[in-house]
């Protein structure tokens, strides 16, 4: 059911781990729903120079985390914020419909980590932080993708 | 992919034993007659169906005319529950079942609720057991049916069926049991256990898929489920799946003849797996009763990791197993069985079901014990929940 690329990123995930002196950290998801993504970003001169993640979740959740960290590296903050869940899924050669919410989490983890960075640096985030995501109910995250 | 393949999902399905297949094969080719036909080709297949019926009856301690073949265990459950509910509607509209039934029973009961029936879903204890007293207390004057599974497909818990049967018989309420997981694993005698209806499915005990049976005790009123021809003495229309029925008959005969040796072997594999995994891997719990469980069933929850990831990694090592995580249940929630025994969602997501069978050996257990700790460790290293535990931020 998963593409070869998804299986590759699941079995050999890129950038697993933590960045001890990260400039932005975003955690989204909920253990109750069965997936949590935590993303660490190192940012210098508006450029994301390093990204790492830790994820509790299914194969698609791990693979999208891995792909999302690969995609943000070397990008400006603005470019990273423009990465959509669809782009993450496409970079993995697609996800099964029931797993699309996992790519949503990846997009939200990037945004949450960048918001954290902006807040810490006195720049204006939208004020929601990651909470707009992590406090959601599972149904909100999943429902739009139900078959 | 791994070269080694270890199948540890016998509760999902089993292969067809060679001696079962051998008996089935002629019924696909030269012995193709319709059992309803009068000529010898038809009489031949009619006889094969009746011999299979005798074998099923012998395995259950029933009479042959109390056995009706179906297309699956699910059909048998649907027929038993809807059939008994509709046939006895004048007496009442209350049904009792449990929170941990297979969906074939649960969803059938939910359907009947939409038809105006009232259903009591008995809760289970932390090991997944229902007590006979709970059943006695739930029976009302308008109760027409009690349906309680013999053994649970996920956590393997074996219910006190004989004790429940004694109560329902005394109270004059029809007692159905979904024995799909139990047949071939547990000694069953429908007369001694006071069972009125029992569902079974061939592919769980080395028979073919697409065939099951329903035992209906003589005198129990059940409306028909499939309407049409006069097959199965007018109770279940459809031209018989002769090869499947023959296979079911042979498989149940083998399963009941070898039950003690089979159980002994599976219990050794099961108990060693439980003891060793709990010794070697921290933050693990065994789901289901330690002893009142199916001989081949093991069900663990590994904290801080998710079941589908675990299955994928085991698959890469050639091990086929199952999980009750939401990702594998096809719904948003993890298994209703794991939630019913009181597991929090996050722990239910990390469940692993291993079910042993005929071809498994202690070497298979060795192999599982070799790869499982590494896989769990790898997933935990990736998990932000485990990170918190390591830092002492999270209580376990």
Find all residues with CB under 8 Å of B301, minimum gap 6, and list them. B284, B285, B287, B338, B343, B347, B348, B350, B351, B352
Greatest alpha-carbon span in chain B:
79
β-strand partners of B251: none
Residue B108: CB atoms within 10 Å: 23
| Residue numbers in A near B344 (CB within 8 A) | 32
pLDDT at position A99: 87
pLDDT category at A126 given cuts 50, 70, 90 is low
| Residue in the structure block whose two tokens are 């498989």 | B251
Write the residue in B332, B334, B385 that is nearest to A142 by C-beta.
B332
pLDDT category at A31 given cuts 50, 70, 90 is confident
Q: Tell me, what DSSP letter sits at residue B129?
A: P
Residues of chain B with pLDDT under 50: none
Given a contact cutoff of 8 angstroms between Cβ atoms, the answer to whether B292 and B373 are in contact is no
Q: Does the annotation mark A102 as catalytic?
A: yes
Average pLDDT, integer, range A103-131: 81
Q: From the CA of B384, how many Å to the nearest CA of chain A?
A: 5
| Chain B residue whose CA is closest to A39 | B384
Q: Which of residues 28-47 of A touch B (CB under 8 A)?
A: 31-38
CA distance B309 to A56: 9
- Interface of chain B against chain A, CB under 8 Å? 304-306, 308-309, 312-313, 316, 325-327, 330, 332, 334, 344-346, 349, 381-387
Check CB contact under 8 Å for A56 and B384.
Answer: yes
Per-residue CA distances from B379 to A16, A56, B164, B279, B307 (Å): 11, 8, 43, 19, 10
CA distance B12 to B335: 15
Residues of B with a catalytic annotation lie at 327
The token pair at B305 is: 């990791």
Tell whether A6 lies on the interface with B, counting CB pairs under 8 A: no
Average pLDDT, integer, range A53-69: 96
Q: Is the ipTM, as predicted for this complex, more than 0.85? A: yes
Given a contact cutoff of 8 angstroms between Cβ atoms, the answer to whether A38 and A29 are in contact is no
| Residue in the structure block whose two tokens are 């790898």 | B378
Find all residues with CB under 8 Å of A10, minimum gap 6, and list them. A2, A59, A60, A62, A63, A66, B309, B312
Interface test with B, best of A31, A69, A130 (most B CBs within 10 A): A31
pLDDT at position A113: 97
pLDDT at position B331: 66
Q: From the CA of A140, how many Å to the nearest CA of chain B?
A: 11
CA distance A5 to B177: 45
Find all residues with CB under 8 Å of B169, minimum gap 6, and list them. B175, B194
Check CB contact under 8 Å for B345 and A11.
Answer: no
Q: Give me the domains of chain A, ranges plus CATH numbers.
A: 4-143 (3.90.1010.10)
Tell whether A85 lies on the interface with B, counting CB pairs under 8 A: no
| Residue numbers in B near A18 (CB within 8 A) | 387
β-strand partners of B147: B176
Three-state DSSP state, A14? coil
User: Which of B206, B137, B120, B219 lies closest to B171, judged by CA?
Assistant: B137
User: Which of B270, B264, B295, B254 lies closest to B158, judged by CA?
Assistant: B295
Q: What are the E-state strand segments in B267-344?
A: 284-286, 297-302, 319-320
Number of CB pairs, chain A paired with chain B, less than 8 A apart: 71
Check CB contact under 8 Å for A32 and B345.
Answer: yes
β-strand partners of B157: B293
pLDDT at position B388: 82
Check CB contact under 8 Å for B309 and A98.
Answer: no
Check CB contact under 8 Å for B309 and A138.
Answer: no
| Residue numbers in B near A19 (CB within 8 A) | none
Check CB contact under 8 Å for B385 and A56.
Answer: yes
The token pair at B292 is: 């009142």
Check CB contact under 8 Å for B385 and A36.
Answer: yes
Q: From the CA of A3, how many Å to the nearest CA of chain B?
A: 13
Interface test with B, best of A18, A22, A57 (most B CBs within 10 A): A57
Find all residues with CB under 8 Å of A132, minimum gap 6, and list them. none
pLDDT tens by residue, A79-97:
999 999 999 999 999 999 8
pLDDT at position B96: 98
Q: Does the annotation mark A33 as catalytic?
A: yes
What is the Cα B168 distance to its own chain's centre?
22
CA distance B335 to B286: 15
| Chain B residue whose CA is closest to A14 | B382
């Amino acid at each position: 059911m998963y593409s070869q690329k998804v299986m590759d990123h699941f079995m050999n995930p890129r950038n697993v781990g933590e960045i001890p002196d990260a400039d932005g950290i975003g955690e989204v998801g909920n253990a109750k729903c069965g997936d949590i993504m935590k993303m660490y970003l190192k940012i210098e001169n508006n450029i994301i120079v390093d990204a790492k993640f830790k994820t509790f979740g299914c194969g698609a959740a791990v693979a999208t985390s891995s792909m999302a960290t690969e995609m943000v590296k070397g990008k400006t903050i603005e470019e990273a914020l423009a990465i959509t869940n669809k782009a993450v899924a496409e970079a993995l050669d697609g996800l099964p419909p029931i797993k699309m919410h996992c790519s949503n989490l990846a997009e939200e983890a990037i945004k949450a980590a960048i918001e954290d960075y902006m807040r810490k640096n006195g720049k204006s985030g939208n004020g929601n932080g990651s909470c707009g995501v992590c406090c959601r109910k599972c149904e909100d995250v999943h429902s739009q993708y139900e078959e | 992919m791994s070269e080694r393949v270890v199948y540890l999902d016998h509760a999902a399905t089993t292969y067809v034993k060679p001696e079962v297949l051998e008996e089935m094969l002629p019924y696909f080719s030269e012995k193709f007659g319709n059992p309803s036909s009068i000529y010898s080709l038809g009489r031949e297949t009619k006889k094969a169906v009746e011999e299979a019926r005798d074998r099923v009856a012998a395995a259950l301690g029933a009479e042959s005319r109390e056995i009706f073949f179906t297309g699956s265990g699910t059909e048998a459950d649907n027929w038993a529950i809807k059939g008994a509910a509709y046939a006895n509607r004048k007496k009442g509209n209350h049904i009792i079942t449990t929170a941990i039934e297979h969906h074939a029973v649960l969803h059938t009961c939910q359907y009947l609720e939409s038809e105006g029936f009232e259903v009591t879903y008995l809760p289970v204890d932390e090991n997944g057991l229902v007590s006979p007293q709970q059943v006695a207390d739930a029976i009302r004057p308008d109760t027409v049916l009690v349906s309680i599974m013999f053994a649970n497909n996920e956590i393997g818990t074996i219910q006190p069926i004989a004790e429940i049967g004694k109560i329902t018989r005394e109270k004059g309420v029809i007692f159905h049991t979904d024995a799909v997981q139990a047949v071939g694993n547990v000694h069953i005698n429908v007369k001694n256990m006071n069972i009125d209806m029992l569902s079974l499915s061939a592919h769980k005990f080395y028979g073919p898929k697409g065939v099951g049976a329903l035992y209906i005790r003589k005198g129990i009123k059940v409306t028909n489920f499939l309407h049409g021809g006069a097959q199965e003495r007018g109770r279940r229309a459809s031209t018989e799946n002769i090869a499947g029925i023959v296979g079911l008959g042979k498989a149940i005969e083998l399963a009941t003849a070898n039950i003690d040796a089979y159980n002994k072997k599976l219990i050794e594999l099961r108990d060693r797996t439980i003891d060793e995994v709990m010794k070697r891997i921290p933050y693990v719990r065994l789901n289901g009763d330690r002893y009142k469980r199916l001989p081949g069933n093991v069900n663990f929850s590994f904290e801080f990791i998710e079941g589908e990831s675990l299955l994928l990694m085991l698959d890469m090592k050639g091990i086929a197993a199952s999980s009750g995580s939401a990702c594998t249940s096809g719904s948003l929630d993890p298994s209703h069985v794991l939630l019913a025994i009181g597991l929090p969602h996050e722990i239910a997501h990390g469940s692993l079901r291993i079910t042993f069978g005929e071809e498994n050996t202690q070497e298979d257990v060795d192999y599982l014990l070799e790869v499982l700790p590494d896989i769990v460790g790898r997933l935990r290293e990736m998990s932000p929940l485990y990170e918190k535990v390591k830092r002492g931020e999270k209580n376990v």
